[in-house]
A and B are shown apart, each in its own frame.
Chain A
Amino acid sequence: ETGVTQTPRHLVMGMTNKKSLKCEQHLGHNAMYWYKQSAKKPLELMFVYNFKEQTENNSVPSRFSPECPNSSHLFLHLHTLQPEDSALYLCASSQDSGGETQYFGPGTRLLVL
């Protein structure tokens, strides 16, 4: 595997389900990000991790819970989501979190019913 990988690529879940999104980067980077991309809206930065520590949380609802066990892996745990949470969730990584070039994964397309 190379670059940034994300699983699953597609996910359909009910509002009462609990699921997790996984991201793995094979670039040796220290910073990882979660973004939400909704139709016809700009990328919304959700969380930033640098050396496994969360450095930014952009007022994301608590039904989204990130986890970064090491610099290569990032998870987004989902529970009791709403239909408006349906979107493309993108993971990215960079050398550090100070404006470095970010490399994106292919995204997980989430549909909440």
Chain B
Amino acid sequence: QKEVEQDPGPLSVPEGAIVSLNCTYSNSAFQYFMWYRQYSRKGPELLMYTYSSGNKEDGRFTAQVDKSSKYISLFIRDSQPSDSATYLCAISTGRRALTFGSGTRLQVQP
């Protein structure tokens, strides 16, 4: 079993839709949860950072962590064509380097 599972997509939605991106993980020791966005032919950029359980909101983006279910989510409200990218979840126990999901490719249609 992989440490982090992420549906590769692609996920295609119309402009203005609410997007839900998810990852599941297997190690209950993970405490740090991040979402990165990667545009084509660019390096990943940090989007959201969450420690332990709960929600975190930043503009149109909301990150959710459910440690009991080992499930993390990223919601994008009022999605825009400029949100079209690959979204990677990344998690850590705090003792070693990040473990990345395989990434979900999102396409927002105008």
Contacts and interface: CB of A to CB of B under 8 A. Distances in A.
Given A42-B103, A99-B92, A109 B98 contact: no
Given A42-B100, A99-B32, A104 B44 contact: yes
Contact of B46 (A48, A99, A101): A101
B98 A106 contact: no
Interface in A1-57: 4, 33, 40-43, 45, 48, 56
A99 B93 contact: yes
A103 interface: yes
B8 A106 contact: no
A71 to B, nearest CB: 16
Contact of B95 (A4, A99, A106): A99
A61 interface: no
Contacts of B88: 42-43
Contacts of B95: 98-99
Interface residues on A, range: 20 to 34
A95 interface: no
Contacts, number: 54
B60 interface: no
A56 B97 contact: yes
B97 A90 contact: no
A98 B96 contact: yes
A41 to B, nearest CB: 7
Nearest to B6: A42
B77 to A, nearest CB: 24
Contacts of B43: 4, 90, 92, 104-107
A90 B88 CA distance: 14
Nearest to B46: A101
Interface in B10-62: 31-32, 34, 36, 41-46, 49
